[in-house]
């Protein structure tokens, strides 16, 4: 990292430190009211801890193994340029390539109102393997915005090739919850979903989602937000999105979690993934030279405070 960036980070009270995940650095930001960490491996926002509270994001103790496409379940993985399995090439990893490469810090500073701004980037030219996995040239950016109220991610994908690019994607947030059986997700009532754990059956959501257990659902034409209510931590996470058609809910449940070697047996009890996504029939085209944006905003509130 160059001296200017080091200085910008220092001025922010931030630091860069070596991390164990794929021996790749992470950026730490310590501010009055919160602490945040970004893993440059995969460009995951790893952790956001408001002072005096538990992390908003889940991190598995299991680092996921050493393989090139092994993955750790934590923070906010970026699934891009495909969501789920690759349509034609079964040897390519689930959920695209962006979470398997080292992103680069390109800016550290503040927004006008004092919120912290961190910008990271991944481009197709950064690694020969990326160009093998996805032949069209691109540049991805994530602009993180932090304040004591919560965090925002503005993800953008620029198509640098001369052909339209067909994309599916997600910001696959692992929200940390005290207990998945008592957690409730509100705001998706009345929305139709495809249930991947029930032969892709189309079902209408009746009431809030609870328990958040053994779920693999794609809510189609989902509203631009939902709330995660956690009675154990006495807090509510207010999630707002822009640029996504779907909300995906995922929790593997006890049986599947036990089968996985990249997850501890009890991990599923402490997270629910609520993902801002464009998947299934909502893949989209970025025109040649065009840019697409996907935005996520998360605010934490005490449970007894009404909006
Ligand atoms: O294990 P991965 O690749 O991180 O994916 C986890 C889950 O991610 C969810 O988004 C998918 O809907 C699930 O089908 C998938 O199992």
For residue range 180-202, list pLDDT tens digits in order. 999 999 999 999 999 999 999 99
Domain that holds residue 51: 3-302
% of residues, the chain, pLDDT over 70: 99
> What local confidence, expressed as pLDDT, does residue 146 receive?
98
Write the DSSP string, 90-125. Answer: TTSPTTBSGGGSB-EEEEEEE-TTS-EEEEEEEEGG
Task: Examine residue 82 and state whether it is found in any structural domain, yes or no.
Answer: yes
Q: Is 204 a catalytic residue?
A: no
Grade residue 121 by pLDDT with cuts at 50, 70 and 90.
Answer: very high
pLDDT tier at 2, thresholds 50, 70, 90:
confident
**Residue 266 domain flag:** yes
* Predicted confidence (pLDDT) at residue 305 exceeds the cutoff of 70: no
**CB of 231 closer than 8 Å to CB of 273:** no
Is the N-terminal amide bond of 211 cis, ω within 30° of 0? yes
At residue 21, the pLDDT reads 78
pLDDT at site 22: 79
Rounded to the nearest 5°, which phi and psi values hold at 200? 60, 30
pLDDT of residue 1: 67
Burial status of residue 206 (CB atoms within 10 A of its CB: 0-12, 13-18, 19 or more): exposed
Q: Examine the residue annotation and report whether 15 is marked as an active-site residue of this protein.
A: no
Q: How far is the CA of 84 from the centre of ligand 1 (A)?
A: 7
The CATH number that applies at residue 192 is 2.70.98.10
**Total of domains in the chain:** 1
* Domain annotation covers residue 254: yes
**Catalytic residue of the set 8, 26, 169, 275:** 275
Write down the pLDDT at residue 4: 87
CB 155 within 8 A of CB 286: no
**Per-residue model confidence as pLDDT tens digits over 10-67:** 999 888 888 877 778 999 999 999 999 999 999 999 999 999 999 999 999 999 888 8
Residue 284 is assigned to a structural domain of this protein: yes
Q: Is residue 31 part of a domain?
A: yes
Q: What is the pLDDT of residues 130-172, one digit of tens each?
A: 999 999 999 999 999 999 999 999 999 999 999 999 999 999 9
Q: What's the confidence (pLDDT) of residue 307?
A: 56
Interface pTM, i.e. ipTM: 0.97
- Look at residue 276 in the predicted model and tell me its pLDDT: 98
Q: Is residue 307 part of a domain?
A: no
Average pLDDT over residues 217-239: 97
pLDDT of residue 248: 98
Nearest CA to ligand 1 atom 9: 250
Cα–Cα distance measured from residue 305 to residue 289, given in angstroms and rounded to the nearest whole number: 45
Torsion of CA 196, 197, 200, 206, to 10 degrees: -100
Please return the burial class of 34, using the count of CB atoms within 10 Å of its CB with bins 0-12, 13-18 and 19+. buried
* CA of 94 relative to ligand 1 center, distance in Å: 8
- Ligand 1 in reach of 169 Cβ (< 6 A): no
């Amino acid at each position: 990292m160059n001296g200017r960036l080091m200085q910008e980070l220092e001025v922010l009270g931030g630091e860069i430190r070596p991390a164990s995940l794929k021996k790749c650095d992470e950026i730490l930001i310590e501010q009055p009211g919160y602490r945040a960490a970004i893993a440059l491996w995969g460009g995951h926002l790893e952790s956001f801890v408001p002072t005096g509270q538990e992390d908003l994001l889940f991190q598995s103790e299991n680092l996921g193994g050493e393989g090139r496409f092994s993955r750790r379940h934590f923070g906010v993985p970026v699934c891009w340029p495909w969501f789920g399995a690759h349509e034609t090439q079964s040897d390519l990893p689930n959920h695209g390539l962006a979470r398997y490469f080292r992103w680069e810090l390109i800016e550290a500073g503040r927004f006008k109102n004092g919120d912290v701004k961190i910008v990271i980037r991944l481009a197709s030219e950064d690694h020969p393997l990326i160009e093998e996995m996805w032949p069209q040239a691109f540049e991805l950016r994530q602009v993180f915005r932090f304040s004591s109220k919560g965090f925002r991610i503005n993800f953008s994908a620029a198509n640098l090739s001369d052909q339209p690019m067909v994309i599916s994607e997600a910001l696959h947030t692992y929200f940390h919850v005290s207990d998945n059986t008592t957690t409730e997700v509100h705001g998706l009532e009345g929305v139709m979903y495809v249930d991947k754990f029930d032969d892709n059956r189309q079902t209408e959501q009746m009431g809030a989602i609870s328990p958040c257990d053994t779920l693999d659902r794609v809510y189609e034409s989902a509203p631009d937000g939902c709330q995660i209510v956690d009675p154990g931590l006495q807090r509510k996470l207010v999630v707002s999105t822009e640029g996504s058609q779907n909300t995906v809910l995922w929790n593997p449940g006890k049986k599947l979690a036990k089968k996985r070697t990249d997850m501890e047996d009890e991990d599923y009890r402490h997270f629910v993934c609520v993902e801002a996504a464009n998947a299934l029939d909502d893949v989209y085209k970025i025109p040649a030279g065009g840019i697409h944006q996907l935005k996520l905003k998360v605010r934490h509130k005490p449970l007894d405070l009404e909006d």
